[in-house]
Structure formats: structure tokens, C-alpha cells
Structure 1
């Protein structure tokens, strides 16, 4: 049993994928902005055409273990769709599902839309949904992933009839649909893709508007799905485009130059690309920019149980928290493109409150540092290590925060520099983070669902009745995403109380109480929040951006974590 758990843990680095590495590098890799209003289009959409889209990172793969960040996620989401999506107003509505309902927030009934097929002709039905959900929660052990920890509240998934699935939770969850959305990452895969473990990552088969033509980690080509189930409001078959080429160009300067010159139709950009997106935004005669809402939440999480780390002491955590100049960081390093709300989440999230939140204050930082060093005794004075990836930009971002903290008298070892994959392997691992901080988390979204998994003490609480908890996968993934590596069950109690509350007004107060406690105890330090941007060359004449309504009749954000929704876009 122990050897099996060891194998599970040794695989976790690969299974976490690039999404987590993007989130952790100093809160530097997510973009900014607000939604631009879609422009009404003249004339009927044109069928056909090819678009070249430049993205920022390699496409690790398309199976359950491949957690993808923004640009690569967009390439994957051209093929896949999710049960639920988020509207422009922050509401969760059915997409592949018609509805998700519950009377007690504990037993959920998911009704599926009829007549949907995967691109290979297989039926999309309740049996397929159950298979996807059971793999995601670890009831089927074929594809271990961090979803096992995130889905730890799911007890059972049952097929009621061909178009109905019943999901029973251990604890009531008023944001369960948000968990099913998960920033657009919880997609449905075809049985044929799942059946082949060798090709699952490289042979994506979904219900989406496009299907795979060719794939490498650096270039993916998708073509129109002939079995696609959607039509536009005038009854025209979707999608309009014939083909999209997703090409990885990691250097933001090259992406920006290609979009500006028209050698690419569009490019995806993140917050760390601020120098280049600011320049593109000035070139309105050449390009048009679209910004997401800011729902990629920035926070640094002190590692409390790392051997030798000072952060088991609250005074040490608060010394660090009050020494970080995030407003200055946003101004200098991010050119003002980030958003510092003073909370671990932004104002759109029910968890938002600045109560208990530490602010940049060197006087207070020094006072807490003196208490910290007293707490440390012979192990003092407090001395910590930050990390950065191998890029100059990441190292300079880390250096800014280190210099800020040094002004309070905090001592540092030399930063640890490594490739993103190596950093991920040292942070998200069985046994806990190797570093003094998790410098950012994957937390995102306008609701708590994809925030709270990173703050609870463990995925499966003590006394759980979930049988997955006792399995090697359950044990292996129990604490990997609990980034603070803490044992304070008061955090869990506050979060679970908010999660179970049926009254939305009372739930908001309880969510804020959880945030206040997390902030006041220094368990998570508010950093800079952001979003994403897509720039389009004007000569490409991309039309319909952000105008197609979802099956529910609602509009989605123009730019999401994945970038554009390509289903309703055409070339004029």
C-alpha cells in the first residue's frame, strides 16, 4: 500500500501540469483588464477560413492529469465543453447540461441536453458524464489527478436515466456548480479517448465545435467538428471557421510583434507581458485588444510545517505580510496592470473583505519581526528563501518583493532558481512544499468554489465518510493542494459553515468571516490580482467576438481564462 502511495506522489508533478506553475511564479503571469463591449456586426457571418492563434505556453496534453493554463487551455477548449459555464454577470448556467438543481445543496440533479454527440459519433449521455466524474474524483483509478483533492466532497455519482445524473455530496455546498465550472477546466471527454491510456493525452475527443487534426506540445491544429450540436440564432450551423492553428510562442515580445505585423491573426497574453500589452494597446490602427475580468486571485501562502520554516509562528507570518509592498510591485513591475484589492480575492467574490488583511507597514513589520525572532529563539533570526523561474522577468519580480521585505529587516538566503517544472515538483508534492512560500496559487473565479481547496488543512476532513479518503489516491492527494501545509481546523470549520449555508446573505457573511480569519492569522497574504488579454490584428477581420449567446441565452465573458470562445467567430 505504501509503495503504491509513493508511486502516486511521484507522479504528481507531471499531473499538476503547467497551470500550477503559471500561478505560482510570483503572481506575475496573469493579465488584467475589464470586459470590452462586443460590437454589433454588419451582415451575415461568413463560413470558412483559418485563424492562426499564438499562445504563451506548451500544451502538455488533453487527459485528466493535464491541468492547463490560459493559452493552452484555450487550445484544449476548442475541442471540449463543460457541463456548466459562467455568464458575464457571474451566474452559472447549463451548457452541456440543461440544469443543475438541488433542494438542500447536498443532493444535486444534473439534467443533460439531448441529441449531443462527441466528435467521433459517440453519444454524450449520463453514462459518459458519470465516467468523467468518477475518474475526476478517484472512484475510477485510471487517471490520478489533483481533481481527487478538489472533488473530495463528492460521495456518489449515479445514472438516473440516459439524460440525468445524480451527485451526492458529503457536505452541503452552495457553490457546487462553480466547482463543476472550475474556470472552464472541468470538461467532458469521450469514452474512446478515455479507453486508451497511451493516447489519452494526445488524442482529445470532445463535444466542442472543433476536432483535432494534428498535435504536438508546441502546435495544435483543429478543424470543424461535423457532428457539432449547436446552431446560431438564425439556424446556421456552427462553428463558422474551418480551422484554427494554435502555435506556442513563449516570448511575449515575439507574440506581440507577430500580431502587430499580421503574421498571426491573434495572440494570448498574461499579466507578466505588461510591457508588450501596454504597447499593443496604443496601436489601435493595427490591433484591437480584449480584456478579461480580473478573477485570477493573487496571494502568497506561508508554508507553516516545512522543517525549519519560521512560519509556524503567526508573528513571523505577519512580519512577512506587512513587509510586502504590493502596490509598489503593481506600479513598477506590472506597469499598473494588476489589481491590488487588499484581500486574498477581488471584490467580485463573496469572500472579499479587507478585515484582518495585513497592509504594507514597515513599522508593524519590524515589530512583528522582533516578536518572531523571540518565538524562534535559538533558531532565529528569521531567514527565508524565495524562488523564481529561469526567466529574467521572474527573477526581477521576486527580487522586488525580497528588497521590499529586506527593508523591514528580514534576512534572506539566495533565491532558488529553477525551471517551472522543477518548482512545481518542489511545491505541489506529497509531504508538503519544499519552500517557505507558495508564491501564488491557482485560485480563481467570482465564487469561492475554486478558491477554498487551496486553503483548507486537507482535502478530506477528519471523520470523513468518503471511501476515497482511505485509498492510496485519497491519501496521496489529501494535502498536495493544501498549500499552507497548516493544521488549523478552524479554517476548515469556517469554510464548511459558509459552504453549507442556504441563505445567500448569511453565506456571504460566513465566507467573509473565513477570509478575515485567514488574513488576520497570516495564513494567506493578499497579493496582486489579474486576468488575461487577447489582441487581434485588424487586417484579419475577425468578427463576432463575444457576440454568440450560450445555449442558455446568456452571454459569457468576451475573454475568459481560456481566451476567446471560438464557436461564434468568423473572418470577414
Structure 2
């Protein structure tokens, strides 16, 4: 999934004015309310319609629920499904559903709503980012409380993927309105969305475990600029800022007893995306030249203040089957110039570098443009809002280069999709990836995943930059926070004030 969003409030002044002194306000709200900060605003609230990670940050496990739940350590536990059984050939999954669950409009949750949701996700007109995942299996409702998924091909990460935002269970009558009027089975309902300012979720009293939910109201406020994020936190205007862009002001929080700091491991991959469909970027020598022109360590310093691990393919060291491919395309400006000459590229080569709003893109993008200039590539920076960038089904194709953070743990499959925004196509990669998905032995699967990583690196499908270390800043008394971030989600019902 892309880390996709819209440019919004850029300063502390963009936050709603407060009447009480900040300290008094914080004390007044900390019994049962919470204010969260997010870098960017969702373009809608239906994660099955658009691919933005910021949508899941608001609604996943809060408004909408899934059959399984992904936890901070990456483990998978029951949610709407109480239990499941897997056939010996790993192709048939039988789920026993939780009884007595209702949607927020009063309709019942049952096997038919699960079937509707998954059939809808795989339908011809579906815009679900994981449409191909859902098309890999058929869904059968055996009875009101039993669902069977029969996979055409083995999907080793199926239980994990069923806990992601694209796999939410929706109510048929309200499904088409979920972008602005979301209806789920979760502990919170949408109370208000002031576009450009905030989204407010209120506790739903009809939730099956409503008595255990301690946060009555949660407000999401959108602050894109790092300095404004720091100001909002220090002034107690925001209680919790997951993956905040505050590296350069971190000492202010480390020396302030009002705050707790969590350094979150993630499966995110920051890349310099290359439009493989455009000339001369369709020439592997040009893509390799771009990769050779980029000093990953310097980009990490510029974009993340040094908090990142270099990667050489679309995979991170904490993922199973990882191999180190950083040596395939090392920083070598002289080699970059030779490759451009071999490809017959007339210098200077003019390319558009389209940068979405997050600081990692804007700060890293400026350095990348400077590095490319050293080898004769003039990268013209275009700063755009996320809604402008993601104007196509799988992302905007009207670009040459872009800096994007992909946050999904298992997304190598995107390289088998020629329609995806980077337009990469490789029969060799497709063959290896399919073998990996269907390998009966874990050792074979991991070996093949390593081979797939190597192919992407050798093809320079994109310039693979780093795995980020995320920073969460929270008020000292807030409990129930995730230690790590295998996916981007804020499970508000698990939080409480000490």
C-alpha cells in the first residue's frame, strides 16, 4: 500500500483555536477523549475504494473490522472470526464467525456479509488495491456463522492480509456510501468530518464490548509540517502523533517528562519510484544509472535524520526471506555517467520529480535532485498534494520520478501488475514470484523470495532507498500504544489514560 495523502494544515495556526490554557485543556480531556495528529488527511474513509494508508489510520479497527486482527508484533489473532481451520493443502480456510455482531445501522453481521464484501472486492468494477488477492479465492457461506475461502493458488500470508484495511467487512445496504458515511461493526462511528481540519470519531454504544472502551471521543487533526507537529505536541494540543516527523526536535521530547517516545519498527520501503513505461526510463541502463547516482545514506540523513536502514530491493531486513541486495546498485556517479552514455542519452536529461506532501518525500527529494544533477540529470521538482498525485486507479502515471513510502508488509505482488503506477513488467519476476507463492516448503518459498528481490534490484525497477524507523510521540499517561507498526493503524479502543 502507498503512503498516500493530501497536503493540509501546515502550521500550529491551522489547528482549531483553544479557549482554555493548553495545560488545563489537556487535563480536562484526558479522562475519556483523545486528540491524534496525522501528517495527511484521508481522501475518503473507505479503504476498499482507495489505497491510502491514511484511510486505515483513521478507520481500521475503529469503524471497520476484519476477520482477523494484526497486532503490533505482526501476529494474527481472531476478530470478527472467532476461529479458523486450514486444510492440509493450504487452499481451504474455514472461518467460524463471532455471533451477535451488528453493524452501526442495525443490520446483522453474518457469513453473507463476508461473502458480499469479498465478492465486491474482486468484482470487475472493484477499485480495491488488493483486487487480485480477493480474485484468488471463492467465498462460500455455509451457514450464518461459517465462511469458507477456497484459494486457487496457495496464499501463505492470507490470514495476515485478511486483517488489513482492504479486507474490511462492509454492510451491503450502506457500502457505496462508506467514503463519506462509513458504517462498520467497530467500536467507533463517524461523528464529524471538517474537511481540511479534523475527523471526529465517537464511541458507538451498540458495540458488543462497549463497556470496555474507555476513550469516548477521538479527534484526528492534520498537521503536515514537522515544525508545526512539534509545536502542537509541546503545547498539548495533540496527545498522540504516530510516526511523527520530529527527528530534528527529538531532544525536546526526550528532555520533557510529559512525553513518552516509541521508536517503531516497520515493514515500510521508501523508494524513488521510476515510471518504467516512459522513455528513456524503459531502458534498464538508464534506471541503473539513476540508482548509481543516489547515495542512500545521504538520503536517509536528509529525509529521516539518519533513522533508516538502506535497502537494495522492495524488501526489508525484518521480513522473512530477506537478502541483502544493496551491493547490486551501489552509489557510483562515474558508473551512472557511463551507463547514460551507453544508453545514448543526450545530456542534460530532463525529468519530472513529483513529490507528495510528507516530509520524507520533500526533504529527501531535494537531495535526490541535487545528486542526479551531478550526473547530468535535471530533475524538475513538482510539489503536489496527494489527491493530485494519486489520480489513477493504481496511482498517477503522469510522472517520471517520485519519492514514495510503501507501508504494506507483503507487497511484492505489485511488481506483477503492469497497470501499477510504476509500470514494471518482467516475465522472469512473475514466474519466480508465482513459484514462491505456491511453494509447499517454507525453505523453498524463502529462497524464491530472495531470487525475486534480486531480480528487482538487477532490473532497477525502482531505486530502493531505505526502511524507515518511525517515531511516535505521546502524552506520558496514554496506554495501549503499539510498540511496532507492521501496518498503519490506530486501535483507539485498546487505549486508555492512566
* Counterpart for residue 190 of structure 1: 171
8 A contact 2:39–2:223 mirrored in 1? yes
- What's the offset of the Cα at 1:185? 4.6
Deviation per CA, 1:57-110, whole angstroms, max 9, x where unpaired?
Answer: 22322223243334x533223222222222344333322223442432333333
Give the whole-Å Cα distance in 2 for the aligned partners of 1:520 and 1:95.
Answer: 41
* Counterpart for residue 274 of structure 1: 247
8 A contact 1:301–1:439 mirrored in 2? yes
8 A contact 2:347–2:377 mirrored in 1? no
Change over 3 Å in CA distance of 1:120–1:403 after alignment to 2? same
* Counterpart for residue 406 of structure 2: 442
* Counterpart for residue 331 of structure 1: 301
8 A contact 1:344–1:526 mirrored in 2? yes
* Counterpart for residue 304 of structure 1: 276
Alignment map for 1:318-357 (pairs within 5 Å): 318-355=288-325, 357=327
8 A contact 1:356–1:517 mirrored in 2? no
- The alignment's TM-score, normalised by the length of structure 1, stands at 0.74
* Counterpart for residue 545 of structure 1: 480
Alignment map for 1:21-420 (pairs within 5 Å): 21=5, 49-63=32-46, 64-70=48-54, 72-77=55-60, 78-100=62-84, 101-138=86-123, 141=125, 144-147=126-129, 149-151=131-133, 153-182=135-164, 184-194=165-175, 197=176, 199-217=177-195, 218-230=197-209, 237-270=211-244, 272-276=245-249, 278-306=250-278, 309-355=279-325, 357-362=327-332, 365-367=333-335, 369-376=337-344, 382-389=349-356, 394-407=361-374, 409-420=375-386
Change over 3 Å in CA distance of 1:327–1:89 after alignment to 2? same
The 3-state SS of whatever aligns with 2:167 is coil
Deviation per CA, 1:190-228, whole angstroms, max 9, x where unpaired?
Answer: 33421xx3x432222222122222233332222222222
Give the whole-Å Cα distance in 1 for the aligned partners of 2:188 and 2:358.
Answer: 34
1:565 equivalenced with 2:487 (yes/no): no
* Counterpart for residue 34 of structure 1: none
* Counterpart for residue 536 of structure 1: 474
- What's the offset of the Cα at 1:329? 1.4
1:423 to 389, 409, 412: 389
8 A contact 2:5–2:40 mirrored in 1? no
The 3-state SS of whatever aligns with 2:95 is strand
Change over 3 Å in CA distance of 1:391–1:327 after alignment to 2? closer
Change over 3 Å in CA distance of 1:226–1:268 after alignment to 2? same
Change over 3 Å in CA distance of 1:500–1:399 after alignment to 2? same
Give the whole-Å Cα distance in 1 for the aligned partners of 2:132 and 2:382.
Answer: 29
Aligned length: 473
Give the whole-Å Cα distance in 2 for the aligned partners of 1:49 and 1:401.
Answer: 45
* Counterpart for residue 5 of structure 1: none
Bigger relative contact order, structure 1 or 2 (CA pairs below 8 A, ≥6 apart): 1
Runs of 4+ aligned residues of structure 1 deviating over 6 Å after TM superposition are 390-393
The 3-state SS of whatever aligns with 1:151 is helix
8 A contact 1:112–1:163 mirrored in 2? yes
Change over 3 Å in CA distance of 1:185–1:275 after alignment to 2? farther
8 A contact 2:312–2:326 mirrored in 1? no
RMSD of aligned C-alpha atoms? Answer: 3.1
8 A contact 1:175–1:499 mirrored in 2? no
8 A contact 1:426–1:434 mirrored in 2? no
8 A contact 1:304–1:484 mirrored in 2? yes
8 A contact 1:211–1:223 mirrored in 2? yes
- What's the offset of the Cα at 1:514? 0.7
8 A contact 1:343–1:357 mirrored in 2? no
8 A contact 2:127–2:393 mirrored in 1? no
- What's the offset of the Cα at 1:151? 2.8
The 3-state SS of whatever aligns with 1:492 is helix
- Between 386-395 and 330-339, the greater mean CA deviation after superposition: 386-395
Change over 3 Å in CA distance of 1:304–1:258 after alignment to 2? closer
8 A contact 1:357–1:519 mirrored in 2? no
Give the whole-Å Cα distance in 1 for the aligned partners of 2:465 and 2:371.
Answer: 13
* Counterpart for residue 38 of structure 1: none
Change over 3 Å in CA distance of 1:389–1:569 after alignment to 2? closer
Give the whole-Å Cα distance in 1 for the aligned partners of 2:221 and 2:407.
Answer: 27
- The alignment's TM-score, normalised by the length of structure 2, stands at 0.84
- What's the offset of the Cα at 1:371? 3.9
- What's the offset of the Cα at 1:515? 0.6
Note the residue ranges of structure 2 that are not aligned, 5 or more in a row: 8-29
Deviation per CA, 1:28-83, whole angstroms, max 9, x where unpaired?
Answer: xxxxxxxxxxxxxxxxxxx962222222222322223243334x533223222222
Change over 3 Å in CA distance of 1:98–1:69 after alignment to 2? same
